[in-house]
Amino acid sequence: MELELRHLRLICAVADAGSVTKAAAALGLAQPALTTQLRRIEKILGGELFVRDRRGVRPTPLGDLVLARARVLMPAVSGLRDEAIGLLGAGEPARYRLGATNGPITGGLVQRLRDAHPEGGVSIHSTWSENEVVRMVLDGRLDYALVGACATAVPAAATGLEWRVISVDPVWVLLDERHPMAGRDEVGLADLAAEQWITAPGDGCFNDCFTAACLRAGFAPLMPYEMDAGGVFDLVTGGRAVALCQGTVRSVPGAVAVPLRGSPLSWRHLLGWDPAGPAAGHAAEVTRLAADAYRDIVRRRPRYAAWQAAHPEFGVAPQVTRSPHSH
């Protein structure tokens, strides 16, 4: 294992936070995971970088040396990357390297970018982890992050990126079509208090927000299982669980998506980029195309489109303008 730029970022984060716990929160990592990474880095460098005391952590002499070098190297590498992109990119097509988590916008956005830029330069990296996507943008390996988040949160590792809210959707519940509440216009969270819940995996605060909403509704839920979409649909249509889903969820044979009364949970689609990087110059275009992709999804979900028309607080965020080519 060799020392990498991301290791230097981690060391600086710990030093800046003065605490492994605070640094883990800022980086979007669990504390044990950060501690393990720090030990591996110390093994590479041959000694301890930090010591603990009553006030948190402070650098050792070796830590001071590494931090001094890191604070010179990191801006230099970033500057080199930007200069190289500027040199090689002069007169060449822009790159659109998109990282995305599960969401309805991704496919439509990629297709719109490819239609607008047939000369190439469009690529996609898909993952369940929004923090992975964010770190790749921060490291210059991706240009844009298209992720989801509940409430007003942004990914924990998102410090340093600029964000636009593309759209906001309510969280609905996906039921087996034979479920006694599948035919209702809406259901309350408390109506499903005894159910086993499932949802797609993620490393944000959604499960905490879900638990808080259930407590406000008067019950403590069974914590959701996290699994891929195929597993979610199999458990729902088998009558063994109910799934939390976005209002834009596609139709699945044997399952019915039902609104939650009062929309106690919402889900926002966010686009992020490095404001100091070359992607910033094309961010307005990507934002408009993402909004167009979202509008197209809603048009293809007649039930959700009708619901959204009666709930104007949901849909495309106000600051996102319509593309001149949308219709």
Do 73 and 101 lie in a common domain?
no
The whole-number average pLDDT for the span 145-157 is: 75
- Tell me: do 63 and 175 sit in the same domain: no
- Could you tell me if 160 and 75 are in contact, meaning their C-beta atoms sit under 8 angstroms apart? no
pLDDT value at position 190? 95
Check whether residue 189 and residue 285 sit in a common domain. Answer: yes
Claim to verify: residue 80 and residue 102 sit in the same structural domain: no
Nearest by Cα to 240 from 197, 207, 200: 197
Q: Identify the pLDDT of residue 324.
A: 36
Instruction: Average the pLDDT over 167-172 and give the result.
Output: 94
**Tokens representing residue 122 in the block:** 């469009």
Residue 273 in contact with residue 282, Cβ under 8 Å? Answer: no
Between 311 and 25, name the one with better pLDDT. 311
Convert 186-225 to b/e letters by CB count within 10 Å (16 or more is b): ebebebbeebebbbbebbbebbebbeebbeebeeebeebe
Shared domain for 151 and 192, answered yes or no, is: yes
Residue 55 has pLDDT above 50, yes or no: yes
Final residue before a domain boundary, out of 43, 62, 88: 88
CA torsion 304-307-311-313 (nearest 10°) is 0
189 or 80, greater pLDDT: 189
Residues 102 and 32 in one domain: no
Domain CATH for 70: 1.10.10.10
Last residue of a domain, one of 60, 88, 116: 88
Assess whether 127 and 191 both reside in one domain. Answer: yes
| Percent share of the chain, pLDDT over 90 | 46
pLDDT, position 85: 54
Q: What is the mean pLDDT of residues 80-92?
A: 55
Confidence of residue 65 (pLDDT cuts 50, 70, 90): very high
- Domain of 299, CATH number, reads 3.40.190.290
Do residue 34 and residue 56 come from a single domain?
yes
Averaged pLDDT of the chain = 85
Q: Are 23 and 30 in contact (CB under 8 A)?
A: no
- Domain end position, chosen among 88, 109, 139: 88
Please give the Cα distance from 171 to 213 (Å, whole number).
12
Mean pLDDT of 93-98: 79
Domain co-membership, 214 together with 285 = yes
Question: Is the pLDDT score of 325 beyond 60?
Answer: no
Q: Which residue type sits at 190?
A: A
Q: Is the pLDDT of residue 174 over 70?
A: yes
Q: Is the pLDDT of residue 151 over 80?
A: no
Assess whether 76 and 99 both reside in one domain: no
DSSP 164-201: EEEEEEEEEEEEETTSTTTTSS-B-GGGGTTSPEEE--
Residues 208 and 258 in one domain: yes
The pLDDT assigned to 51 comes to 92
| 198-233 confidence digits (pLDDT tens) | 988 877 788 888 999 999 999 998 888 888 777 888
Report the pLDDT value the prediction gives residue 13, as an integer from 0 to 100.
85
Residue pLDDT, tens place only, 278-287: 889 899 999 9
Model pTM?
Answer: 0.69
pLDDT value, residue 260? 96
What pLDDT does residue 89 have?
52
**Tokens 């834009």 -> residue:** 248
Confidence band, pLDDT 50/70/90 cuts, at residue 86: low
Range among 81-95, 129-143, 247-261 with highest mean pLDDT value:
247-261
Q: Residue 188 sits in which domain range?
A: 95-327
Domain count across the chain: 2
Look at residues 184, 173, 172, 133 and name the one whose alpha carbon lies nearest to residue 154: 133
Whether residue 24 sits in one domain with residue 159: no
